[in-house]
Amino acid sequence: MKLFYIFLTVYLLLFSQQTKAVEKIEVQALMPGMVVLLIDGNRITLKTGGHSQGVKLISSTTQTAVLEVDGEQKSYQMGTTVSTSFRPREVITERVIIDNYGMFRSFGSINGHSVKFLVDTGASTVAMSAKDARSLGIQYQLEGTPTQASTASGLAKAWSVQLKTVRLGQLLEHNVRGMVVDGDYPRQILLGMTFLNRMKVEKDGNTMSIISEK
């Protein structure tokens, strides 16, 4: 019985050490396929695929290292110091119900202005007509990049723009690429993949769930 308690104590000690959250990471040296880190005061050398104290090296060059910490991958440069408690990520879910026309429509905003979106996983970007862009105060001709868009009537003149904020309910994203199409098409602003590809999108019958982890 005494042996069992000793085993249980050792197991719990090892488990607590393995699950201890990383609080501070400093990148001290970068090499192709190798990085030197200071993790909570301990100097660690990792090779690609190696891991220690909950930190895994995905890849590295002389400029940057891609580290996986708490299941999330990010790029770090030489001298980068990150202090964090790595609390569990907040999961935000917005649900959009299909309407009588078979479309997923919902209210949101662009650059702080209220809009009604047509949620479209087939649209490559957040797309709007020139008419809608003007009503939102988007200076697409001055600040956008000329391009072309494929419409039902063929190719149309368009501009690629950077949207400061795009919001759908509680889901908020910054610096989202959008497209302004010359004329009145599309008739409703399309919430496309430059926003949705930052989320997890699930369809279940008449409901679309858009999920973000922050």
What per-residue confidence (pLDDT) applies to 83? 63
Enter the CATH code of domain 91-213. Answer: 2.40.70.10
**Is 0.75 topped by the overall pTM?**
no
What per-residue confidence (pLDDT) applies to 84? 54
- Tokens 């569990």 belong to which residue? 88
Where exactly are the structural domains of the chain? Answer: 20-83, 91-213
Enter the CATH code of domain 20-83. Answer: 2.30.30
Q: Kindly list the averaged pLDDT for each block of 10 residues, start to end, along the chain of length 214.
A: 40 40 77 86 87 86 85 79 60 94 96 96 96 96 93 86 95 96 92 96 96 81
